[in-house]
Structure 1
Amino acid sequence: MANGDETDLVRELQARLRQLKLMTSAPTGFYGSKTTAAVKTFQSQHGLGATGTVDEATWRKIQELSRKPTDEELRPPTTNEVAAPDPRCMQGRVLCISKESRTLAWMIDGKVVSSMDVRFGSENTPTREGLFQVEWKAKDWTSTIYHTPMPYSMFFSQGQAVHYSADFAARGYAGASHGCVNVRDKVKLSALFDQVKVGDKVVVYW
């Protein structure tokens, strides 16, 4: 396993690293910078080459010192820990969206006002990354392409929007969006929708 991988085995690795107190964020299944750093720390602690990549020896040692994760450990119901903000999020009013931690942080002048879990598009319909702005908003909206409800939509890139997803609320990360940023906490998103203005920044990053 290495940086950039996205598999169920990576999810198990992350859950085991949480047991060993080397990761605090919930497993995402994506092997990014936090996982790399945790693996390097583990390797250093146990006399293994600190490459940040999981080879056979590293995986054996991790398995030896941890137990098989439960379903709840693999997909915990708790809110994901907010990632370190992208530098572009540090000024003004920003929806700061991290793909690695699967979080949206509503930030004003570098301070997190609120945060929530999110999920993204699949490989076939990926959520675009970059710097955008809220182009328009719709409290009650139904997708013209997929004919699914998209309450509290805040559109930022050619039809991609931040919106509430009943499917995400029901199935969690077992599913994916068609490219939008799905939110599962309707109450939090409703409050956010009232605060965000057209023209506010949107940053989507790993």
Structure 2
Amino acid sequence: MAKGTENEQVREAQARLRQLGHFHRSPTAFYGAMTAEAVSAFQGTKGLTATGEVDAATWRALVAATRKPTGDELRPSTTNEVDTPDQRCMTGRVLCISKESRTLAWMVDGKVVSAMDVRFGAVNTPTREGTFKVDRKEVEWKSTLYHSDMPYSMFFSGGQAVHYSADFAARGYDGGSHGCVNVRDKDRLATVFSQVKVGDKVVVHW
């Protein structure tokens, strides 16, 4: 496993690394920079070459040092820890969205005002990455393509928007969106929705 890998073995590795205190967020199944750093730290404790990649020797050592993760450890219901903000998020008013930590941080002048768990598009309908602006806001909206309710929508890239998802609230990460950024905490999103203005920046990054 290495950067860019996305599968259930990555999720298990992250859960095992979390048991040891090397990985400080909920498992995402995506192998990004934070996972590579956690693997390097673990390799260092075991006298292995700190490559940041999981080879056979590293996997054997990780399995030997941990127990098999439980279902709750693999898909915890607790809030994910906010990722280190992307540099593009450090100035102005920004919805800073991390795909790796699966979090949205509402930031003003480099400070996190509020944060929440998010879910992204499925493989065939991915959430676009990049820097955008909030084009429009809709307290109540129904998707014209998929006919699903999208309360507290903040559109930033065509039909893609940050919005509350009852499906995410009910099913968690077992589901996926059609490209939107789903939020499961309706009250927290409602508060952020009231603060965000059309024209505010949106950054979607790994």
Runs of 4+ more than 4 Å apart: none
Letter matched to residue 181 of structure 1: V
Question: How far did residue 47 of structure 1 move?
Answer: 1.3
Letter matched to residue 125 of structure 2: T
Match of residue 186 from structure 2:
186
Work out the CA distance in 2 between the residues paired with 1:197 and 1:18. Answer: 37
Please state if 1:94 is matched with 2:94.
yes
Match of residue 38 from structure 1:
38
Question: How far did residue 50 of structure 1 move?
Answer: 1.2
Please state if 1:20 is matched with 2:20.
yes
Match of residue 199 from structure 2:
199
Question: How far did residue 139 of structure 1 move?
Answer: 0.4
Deviations 1:126-155 (A, max 9, x none): 101111000001001000000000000000
Work out the CA distance in 2 between the residues paired with 1:66 and 1:13. Answer: 10
Please state if 1:172 is matched with 2:176.
no
Match of residue 65 from structure 1:
65
Question: How far did residue 114 of structure 1 move?
Answer: 0.2
Match of residue 113 from structure 1:
113
Work out the CA distance in 2 between the residues paired with 1:40 and 1:78. Answer: 26
Match of residue 77 from structure 1:
77
Q: How many residues align?
A: 206
Work out the CA distance in 2 between the residues paired with 1:191 and 1:44. Answer: 43
Work out the CA distance in 2 between the residues paired with 1:92 and 1:180. Answer: 23
Match of residue 48 from structure 1:
48
Match of residue 149 from structure 1:
149
Question: How far did residue 163 of structure 1 move?
Answer: 0.2
Match of residue 160 from structure 1:
160
- Structure 2 length normalisation: TM-score? 0.99
Deviations 1:68-94 (A, max 9, x none): 000000011110000011111111110
Work out the CA distance in 2 between the residues paired with 1:18 and 1:84. Answer: 17
Work out the CA distance in 1 between the residues paired with 2:9 and 2:169. Answer: 24
Deviations 1:82-111 (A, max 9, x none): 001111111111000011100000000000
RMSD across aligned C-alpha pairs, in angstroms? Answer: 0.6
Letter matched to residue 52 of structure 1: G
SS at match of 2:182: strand
Work out the CA distance in 2 between the residues paired with 1:134 and 1:153. Answer: 10
Work out the CA distance in 2 between the residues paired with 1:48 and 1:141. Answer: 53
Work out the CA distance in 2 between the residues paired with 1:85 and 1:22. Answer: 19
Question: How far did residue 45 of structure 1 move?
Answer: 1.2
